[in-house]
Amino acid sequence: MSKNITPYKDSELGKKEQVAQMFDTISGNYDGLNRVISFGIDVKWRKKVLNLVANTKPTTILDIATGTGDLALLMTQTSATKIIGLDISAGMLDVGRKKIAEKKLDSKIEMVLGDSENIPYPDATFDAITVAFGVRNFENLEKGLAEILRVLKPGGIFVILETSVPERFPYKQGYRLYSKNILPLIGKLFSKDNSAYQYLSDSASVFPYGEALNNILRKIGFIEVKDMPQTFGVATIYSASKK
């Protein structure tokens, strides 16, 4: 299991509360800064997640750690009639609701304040569940994944998009330089929360990826687990199912 990195080293709050506070603080400029930091490649990754989910022809979708709703909005291109975006940050959800309202998709997408480790829905509710750049923010990774398994329908699809660490030269060295030095600097220049982008970098560097995360998913009870590295391994898409 990875080290439990938190956004604010001097805070007495738990990781969950710190993450909510951090995203509330950076919610206003999160979307624009995210595009800059990823050079816009994250849009391409999200479309691959969309295709994986769309191929299963879901009716109900839960997007966990939905943030400002980018992936939830993308999921309207599937056959789903109901999409729930769940997040612990009220600030991020407020930005997401404005985006949804502008696109007149309020009837299809509902943004819900909630905890991924205590998902407020009955067993076997959703045909598909997605998490983009959110699982490393779980306070208790295995508890969060077990909750996801609980609310996923048998035969449903679970897709994770998360940062990972390139393993080949020179991408490994380039990624280390970028994540340790450049990413926090960009965050410091453009964000009013200097700790936020340092945390995002640090948490990515210690989070289990590839076969390590596959094994955790299998341990929880997921089946048909596979990982698909993206862009030299700087991110990975994982898909899994439920018996």
Q: What is the pLDDT of residues 121-135, one digit of tens each?
A: 999 999 999 999 999
Q: What is the pLDDT of residues 177-197, one digit of tens each?
A: 888 888 778 777 766 677 877
Rounded CA-CA distance 192/195 in Å is 9
Quick one: pLDDT band at residue 3, thresholds 50, 70, 90? low
Q: How far is CA 117 from CA 18, 33, 62, 82, 104, in A?
A: 15, 27, 14, 21, 30
Q: What is the pLDDT of residues 33-59, one digit of tens each?
A: 778 777 889 999 999 999 999 999 999
Provide, rounded to the nearest whole percent, the portion of the chain with pLDDT above 70: 98
pLDDT at 32 over 90: no
Q: What would the mean pLDDT of 193-214 be, rounded to a whole number?
A: 87
Q: What is the pLDDT of residues 137-181, one digit of tens each?
A: 999 999 999 999 999 999 999 999 999 999 889 989 998 888 888
Q: Quick one: pLDDT at residue 195?
A: 81
Give the domain ranges of the chain: 37-164+209-241
Return the higher-pLDDT residue of 33 and 94: 94
Q: What is the pLDDT of residues 105-122, one digit of tens each?
A: 999 999 999 999 999 999
Q: Quick one: pLDDT at residue 63?
A: 98
Quick one: pLDDT band at residue 62, thresholds 50, 70, 90? very high
Q: Quick one: pLDDT at residue 168?
A: 87
- Give me the chain's average pLDDT, please: 92
Q: How far is CA 69 from CA 13, 29, 90, 98, 211, in A?
A: 26, 14, 12, 10, 28
Provide, rounded to the nearest whole percent, the portion of the chain with pLDDT above 90: 73
Enumerate the β-bridge partners of residue 237: 161, 228
pLDDT at 84 over 70: yes
Q: Quick one: pLDDT at residue 196?
A: 79
**φ, ψ for residue 146 (rounded to 5)?**
-65, -35
Distance from the Cα of residue 222 to its chain's centroid: 18
Return the higher-pLDDT residue of 129 and 6: 129
Q: For residues 75 and 60, is the Cβ–Cβ distance under 8 A?
A: no
Architecture of domain 37-164+209-241: 3-Layer(aba) Sandwich (3.40)
Q: For residues 142 and 221, is the Cβ–Cβ distance under 8 A?
A: no
Q: For residues 107 and 114, is the Cβ–Cβ distance under 8 A?
A: no
pLDDT at 1 over 50: no
